[in-house]
Each structure stands twice: as structure tokens, then as C-alpha cells.
Homo-oligomer: A and B are copies of this chain.
Amino acid sequence: MDRRQEILEAATKSFSLFGYKATTMDQVAKIANVGKGTIYTFFANKEELFHEIVFTMIKEMKAKKDGVISEERTFQENAHLVLMKMLEFREHHALLAKLISEEKEMKTPVVQAVLVQVEQEIVKYIAENIQTAIDKDEIKQVDVELVAYLIFKAYMAFAVDWQLTHNDSLTEEKIVEVFQDTIFASLIK
């Protein structure tokens, strides 16, 4: 396998396991079985390496979403499927979870900045999908940006925050059900 890819995989593993701050370039080099200097022939610095990985993650999510949405299905059905995929995604992707906890515990500025970007990216996607549905006259006219923000925050609340104050984690089915009962239900015409 090419060295660039090896480095990316080693770094992803380390970022997911230890977070951004606790990952050292020496460590990445060791895991990737390359000299430290080699990393710097492919990536300008630690931050750029990190950005590349997060960007890859976002692309992965986008791909998952696009693989699920179908023109033939109703908004409600599509929304249900996308939400399910995202909820599955969360568990498989240790990186996002680690970054969120790292931001809360220490408040690493680089991580903070990247999470804001991820948030904006996701809200943008949700907004685009809502707008499409409105244009197709599938759902009623609402303030797209605000509703997209609401959906994102609701998602994070159930998928991440809930288990912090309650000691049981919510099942995917339960979360999807609340979305269907409330926000999604209100949007369809």
C-alpha cells in the first residue's frame, strides 16, 4: 500500500483512539511504519493531516446519505432512512465520538474549529434536502435554515446528550420514532 494511505490510516486510528491532542506525530509515524519526516512530505503539518481525515469522514457520511435517498420515495420515508443510516454511522465511527468528548473535556481549539465546520456542513446538507422537498411541493414552506438547525440539534440531543444525564442509551428505533411523530410529521403537507 502507498505510504500516504498508510499514514492516513495510522493517524485515523490514533485520532479515534486518543483524540487530537494526545496523538503525537512520532506515534503516527511508528504505527504507519514510516519515518516521521515522511509524514511531512505528504502533509504540511499535524493540523492539515487532521483536516484531511475529518474531510474524508464527511465525504463518507455524504456518500452514505446519497446511497440511501431515492427520488421515488416520499420525504418522510427518505428522512427515516437517512436518519437511520446516520445513527448507525455514529456507532461505527469512533472518531466523531472521540472528537466530541475531547471538545467537551479539554477544549482543544483545532478540534473545536473542526467540529463547528462539521456542524455547518451537516446543517447545509439537511437544508438542501428540505429545500428540494419544498420545491417538489412535498412538504410545507418553512424557514429552511432554522428547521435544518432544529433537526441537527435534535439529532445530537438524542444521539449524544441523552445518555449523559440519563443512564440508558436510546435505541435507534425510539429516536426515529420521535422524529417521525414530531418534526417530520409536522413538515408533510
Contacts and interface: CB of A to CB of B under 8 A. Distances in A.
Contacts of A157: 149-150, 153
A185 interface: yes
Given A154-B150, A157-B150, A143 B187 contact: no
A147 interface: yes
Contact of A174 (B146, B154, B184): B146
Chain multiplicity (copies)? 2
Contacts of A154: 150, 153-154
A153 B95 CA distance: 24
A132 B33 CA distance: 63
Contact of A182 (B107, B142, B178): B142
A142 to B, nearest CB: 5
